[in-house]
Amino acid sequence: MDAHLTEWLNLSIRWIHMIVGVAWIGASFYFVWLENNLNRANPREGLSGDLWAIHGGGIYHLEKYKLAPPQMPENLHWFKWEAYTTWLSGVALLMVVYYLNPSLYLIAPGSELSPAAAIAIGFGSLIVVWFVYDLLCDSPLGKTPALLGLVLFVLVIAACWGYSQVFSGRAAYIHTGALIGTIMVGNVFRIIMPAQRALVAAIEQNRTPDPVLPAKGLLRSRHNNYFTLPVLFIMISNHFPSTYGSEYNWLILAALGALSVLARHYFNTRHNSNRFAWALPAAALGMICLAYVTAPNRQPAPNLAATSPEQASTSAQQSGASASQFAQVSEVIHERCTVCHSAQPSSPLFSAAPAGVMFDTAEQIREQAAKIHAQTVASQIMPLGNITQMTQDERDLLGDWIAKGASID
């Protein structure tokens, strides 16, 4: 497919995915907040609580029935298409970004896995994990929600580890997010919506509703609520190579997921008491610890933005950097990187330089030295899929040149 067309297809689907995702998550957060803040003191007959709120210049009065009103209203608003459209647009985005170019984004560098096999593993695993999850929820574990939650957490991280063995780090994270998203939309489609339809039908037929389905729907709704923050991180994770680009990317995701769940639990329970007030400081401390333990075990890149060309040149001379070294660096950059990162990329996959990063001149290379260090030397996620076959010796050469001041003289 034409690179320019692919880029705009990617943009259009991603924009739709973000819009409907915000709508779905926003509705989820709002109804959790609403449930947690209901005034349950002496509600009028048939109600479990009510709430007064002000927003946008108006005052609202919301009431929640213990089960349902004596007669169903003519217009009852359902919340489902936000979830369905988020999943459908997410799968479309998965296909455009990862399955149209599996060698670039999906398959791990050096892997002998065929594109067809990689795609089958990626999409097939989403279906398999949903059925495993559904069976676990309907098993005796479903009666012990805390233990079930722990088992599900381990299951998701195990899936991320499995993905990281066959996919690139970026693809492993995104497929883990797609897996969680599939579970969430499956809950809406297979459990929550049928429970709501059954409730409405029972009221309309003047019979007592079955309490089993609403109970199952509540459990799945709680799962969706706690899954939300980890999914949001995964959606933006491709901007942070120190996470998915790490050798221990699955452990990093496990830690980030646990911290996200901890933060979500605080907001879910703060209306009841302050006994989880420690959760947010603990999550913040956890993020600081993650930043420390994920630091690369290599000589850090200098602060080139604050270094003048004259200072860099002097530093390079003092540390032994030479013009001949930059000549080697330039050769590596132009052979391995400018296929994509150029004003006129030679790769058919890109119509313009990704993120506007270009290495056509010596000055451009030096200006981007810190990014080169982060993505090519430290995390080694570039070149994408290592399609240009950059060697470890070449990465070491780039790292040494940057550590000596990134001189181009």
How is the chain split into domains, by residue range?
3-42+81-293, 304-403
Q: Which residues pair with 59 in a beta bridge?
A: 54
The average pLDDT across 374-381 equals: 79
Question: For the whole model, what pTM was predicted?
Answer: 0.79
Q: Is the pLDDT higher at 289 or at 273?
A: 289
Cβ within 8 Å of residue 116, ≥6 positions away: none
Cβ atoms of 302 and 405 within 8 Å: the answer is yes
Predicted pLDDT of residue 309: 54
Cβ atoms of 242 and 379 within 8 Å: the answer is yes
Q: What angle do CA 258, 139, 187 make, to 5 degrees?
A: 60
Q: What value does the mean pLDDT of the chain take?
A: 86
- Tens-digit pLDDT profile for residues 148-194: 999 999 999 999 999 999 998 899 999 999 999 999 999 999 999 99
Q: Is the pLDDT higher at 82 or at 353?
A: 82
- Tens-digit pLDDT profile for residues 354-364: 777 888 888 88
- Residue that the structure tokens 């381990």 belong to: 154
Cβ within 8 Å of residue 201, ≥6 positions away: none
Cβ within 8 Å of residue 93, ≥6 positions away: 10, 13, 14, 17
Q: What confidence category does residue 322 fall into, taking pLDDT thresholds of 50, 70 and 90?
A: low
Q: What confidence category does residue 282 fall into, taking pLDDT thresholds of 50, 70 and 90?
A: very high
- Tens-digit pLDDT profile for residues 125-148: 999 999 999 999 999 998 899 999
Predicted pLDDT of residue 297: 56
Q: What is the dihedral sign for C-alpha 275, 279, 281, 285?
A: positive
Q: What confidence category does residue 316 fall into, taking pLDDT thresholds of 50, 70 and 90?
A: very low
Tokens in use for 299? Answer: 């000589």
Of the spans 64-68, 153-157, 313-317, which averages the highest pLDDT?
A: 153-157
